[in-house]
């Protein structure tokens, strides 16, 4: 895959969701490419890599909330981004279940606010990438998901991603916005401090020499994608959207390796040298989709994208990051 560094040099780019898991890695990469990055920030999250590693000092920081349209429109009007990458969302399934309205506001209204501001300022914005998810597909018998699979999310988080995905398709196709949608599986990488997730949770237990716990029965199948593979996917998609003029096109990004939770935990323990620990299987998970995995052939064929780090290399780097984090 060609290096896109020259393309992003001096480009004005707006990132939402910069304090999450993917955001800091993407912002950091774009800064290394010479981009002029603006980040729309709602909350100051002191433990985010965005702040702890001083990435925030190298960008334009705009305070605002995605659900407040005037704030979003102001940022696009004043900072004049050529590229908008919309990562911002309430991304925790449990949080969504406890408070669906907040999740719907953030994930659905937040998305239409970004897209409406881009539509109003379409003379400025040349490329829009909206981060959707494999969760937008919901629970389906026919797997792997392809981009033609319907949006069928039923629990609050999944439904919010289905709605945001459909709204994004609507804006792209109806208003001919240069817009593409990414659909990825479960992200992992350094900086994820939501320890209810399988990768950081397992590493936290392992480095404390405690047996990791698995909420499900361990047989649930998922796609896992390393943060650096996700960053390359967003960059490739942002560039292609501007050049090929996609209007609401969706792309799955996956290394197409399907793992059960037990298999993933085994790989995590191997990566951190704690293979002697045996996970505790709680079998308490409810309202979760049993099997999910993606077909990424469209991204390979049209974008020339492929996973460069994969699971094992990604977990090795991730384990090193958490080893340093827990050693502080």
Task: Enumerate the active-site residues.
Answer: 157
Longest dimension (CA), the chain: 58
Distances in Å between the Cα of 212 and the Cα atoms of 56, 187, 200, 204, 283 are 33, 19, 10, 8, 13
Q: Which residues pair with 224 in a beta bridge?
A: 186
């Amino acid at each position: 895959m060609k290096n896109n560094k020259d393309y992003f040099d001096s480009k004005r780019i707006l990132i939402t969701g910069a304090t999450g898991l993917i955001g800091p890695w993407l912002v950091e990469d774009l800064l290394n490419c010479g981009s002029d990055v603006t980040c729309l920030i709602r909350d100051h999250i002191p433990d985010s890599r965005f702040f702890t590693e001083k990435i925030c000092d190298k960008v334009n920081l705009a305070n605002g909330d995605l659900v407040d349209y005037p704030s979003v429109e102001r940022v696009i009007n004043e900072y004049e981004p050529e590229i908008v990458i919309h990562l911002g969302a309430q991304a925790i399934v449990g949080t969504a279940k406890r408070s669906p309205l907040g999740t719907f506001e953030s994930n659905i209204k937040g998305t239409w606010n970004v897209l409406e501001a881009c539509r109003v300022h379409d003379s400025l914005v040349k490329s829009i990438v909206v981060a959707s998810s494999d969760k937008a597909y919901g629970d389906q018998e026919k797997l792997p998901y392809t981009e033609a699979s319907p949006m069928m999310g039923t629990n609050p988080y999944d439904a919010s991603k289905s709605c945001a995905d459909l709204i994004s398709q609507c804006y792209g196709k109806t208003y001919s916005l240069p817009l593409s949608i990414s659909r990825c599986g479960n992200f992992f990488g350094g900086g994820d401090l939501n320890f209810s997730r399988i990768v950081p949770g397992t590493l936290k237990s392992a480095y404390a020499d405690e047996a990791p716990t698995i909420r499900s029965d361990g047989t649930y199948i998922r796609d896992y994608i390393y943060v650096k593979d996700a960053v390359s996917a967003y960059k490739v998609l942002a560039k292609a959207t501007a050049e090929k003029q996609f209007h609401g096109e969706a792309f799955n990004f996956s290394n197409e390796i399907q793992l059960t939770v037990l298999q993933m935990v085994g790989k995590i323990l191997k990566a951190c040298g704690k293979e002697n620990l045996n996970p505790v299987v709680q079998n308490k998970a409810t309202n979760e989709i049993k099997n999910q995995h993606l077909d990424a052939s469209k991204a390979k064929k049209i974008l020339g994208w492929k996973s460069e780090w994969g699971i094992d290399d990604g977990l090795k780097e991730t384990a090193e990051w958490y080893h340093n984090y827990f050693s502080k």
